[in-house]
Chains A and B, each alone.
Chain A
Amino acid sequence: MQDKLILRVVAKWLIPVIILFAFYVQFHGDYSPGGGFQAGVIFSSAFLLYSLVYGLESAIKVLPDHWLKVAACFGVLLYAGVGVVAMLMGGNFLDYSALASEPVAGQHIGIILIELGVGITVGSVMLLIFFTFARRVLPK
């Protein structure tokens, strides 16, 4: 689709907006509907659009598979890590209240970090799945 001028221009404008919206859903998730999963999917959709319009090759140049894999693992580790830190600070696994001196602040820190882990993993796994299938269909 590289020759479709309108698509290219619109995509160029849309992609930053989509990413911005993903960040909004991500970081406002503890106050409003949303959270890591939704944000991850929205975030990955920006890159899906990019690779549909500008070609798979250029998308993979921006986000190599290896880094996506690292990111997917890092998200899980962040999630589990927060739980373990809570355990080390005297609470149960994933007991955010133990994360700060004040329970409410602890809950905030905990939920933000956990959702960040979920978002990173979901976003990168979505892209990994897309790239894996896309490579099978498209000639290299």
Chain B
Amino acid sequence: MDLDLNQYIDVFVEEAKEHLQNMNEALLELEKDTSNISLINEIFRVAHTLKGMSGTMGFINMSNLTHEMENVLHGVRSNAVTLNEDIIDIIFECFDMLDYSINLIATNGQEKDDDYKDLIHKLRSISDDSQMQENRDESSHKKLEDINEYVLNILEEAKNKGLISYKIDIILSTSCMLKAARAFIIFNNLESIGEIVYSNPSVEDIEDEKFDSKFSVVFISEFNSEKIKEELSSISEIDDFSINRLDVDSLMTNLQTIEENTEKSNKFKKELLKRNEKDETTNRTNMIGKTVRVDIDRLDNLMNLVSELIIIKTRMDELSQSSNKENMAEAIEYLERITTSIHDAVMKVRMVPIERVFNRFPRMVRDLSKELEKEINLQMSGKDTEVDRTVIDEIGEPLIHIIRNSIDYGIETPEERIKRGKKKEGTIILKAYANGNSVIIEAEDDGKGLDGNEIKEKAIQKGVISKQEGELLSEEEAIALLFTPGFSTTEEVSDISGRGVGLDVVKSKIESISGSIEVDTQLYKGTKFTIRLPLTLAIIQALLIRLSNEIYAIPLSSITEIIKISKEEIKSIHDQEVILYRGKTIPIIELNRIVGVNDIEKSDEYIAIIARKGEKQAALLVDGLIGQQEIVIKPLGKYLSNIKYLSGATILGDGNISLILDVNSLM
């Protein structure tokens, strides 16, 4: 196998993730409705696909694990195994392993170096329980597990109804090119006169052409063997076939022969796998880059715009020779329109649905509510709301934290809820929607809400505020204390949230991507967190300012207000200049000094930009304001990535560069 598989890893990872997501959803559903056979089928299908995919890519451990999963699921499907919570938990465990393994492959191109012995053992013990016969060794293969109690039952039933059971062995001719298709025809023809209850290899393997040229089926029909013979004879490309009448008693002996066959093919497969393994050891060092899946329509649109760009270029070429000024202006206007459209189109390409983040929550809520013995119903809406890829990467963690908070100390235990006259089951609603230039995410629970007084007391106790300060605070202000650093309401640091990090981390994370967070709560009714995020991080609203003769940009999201202050208002405390702003003393930062240009022009009145970072505020003195505008953020590049106080650069309308001041690092 000299094929270089590296180039397919991206695709593999991307697809595997999608499949896993489907499995995750199906599993969660299945847990609620264990009798839903279509969900089992879905999970089976995913396990099967993953088995094939990982096998092709040479990820042996993964393919083995999925293979065992398949066996268990097959058992469930054929009623040989009764689905219970333990089995679902084990399948969840498998899912976690697969998820982990895929992530590992994404980072270094290698699967987890673990043969999942424990898990496979667990899976085997489930499928083994379902077997009547235990005459198999450790390396037993699934083909055998297929003929089981279930099939036997069917055969017995069929016998009672007066139907005849056959075992049909079919050998396709060696010249047959499309074995799977041929087998399909055979299956179809047979099913027109009866029912196939079992096939070896399995139907899935036959569909995937995973058989040499032989296969056998167990077939129930009301017709005699002559009729079947006739039916099979009409199909071409069959080398040979044999039809044997079965009765339930003789089935066991047949089983034995089937087993031998499978064992042989097993050996062969194992050798193949071994060979693959060797290929695998040739080291991979590729890393998966950040990718975005793009709707082809969006790319087409971009294509069209670029073609227009080429047209306008040719036109301008011509115009430059004729020197007709009026036409030139027109052409430039046209060019402007196209560039704006291209910009829009490219931004759209970067957008991904927020589903990517939301998808992990159902599982998380399930696990946590189980652990805490709470009953929680998670409702999500607006999963297809689109956000820039960079925002998606940043928002996951804060949301996890908020939802954990809700589960941990928002929603009460079932007993408590009943006492309060609420529904036993708590509800968490997660909503996303676009609103103008931003995206809103709401996380709402119907738990016990937040108690302003309690928070106030805690804050005083922890020294976040003084007692006097506490008395002055309104209910709303008290709740806002939640976001102050070093504040956590639970007594003990629980495993779920807590962990020493509080909502202040959530807040600063959200603010670092130019977002904002608000909390709205009603005691005993519930709490709602509202997060507002910019649609994209690549374009922001900024205020352009002048420092001496240089122009800088400050993100509008970190500016509270712009005020004028007179010379007299500036006081000095320990060499630090401060002003009184809305009853608070806040430090003055002279940006001119920060960027190392001439000191601010002396005058009686200064322009101060009140900037904030979380609860902190500062007044930034500037020489002049130029105006507010949308800017495209350009990275400064690796070479300048460590420069203090700058977060990037932007190109102004005249082609000059203006640097973006990182207000967060100033404070």
Partners in one complex: no
Residues of B within 8 A of A (CB): none
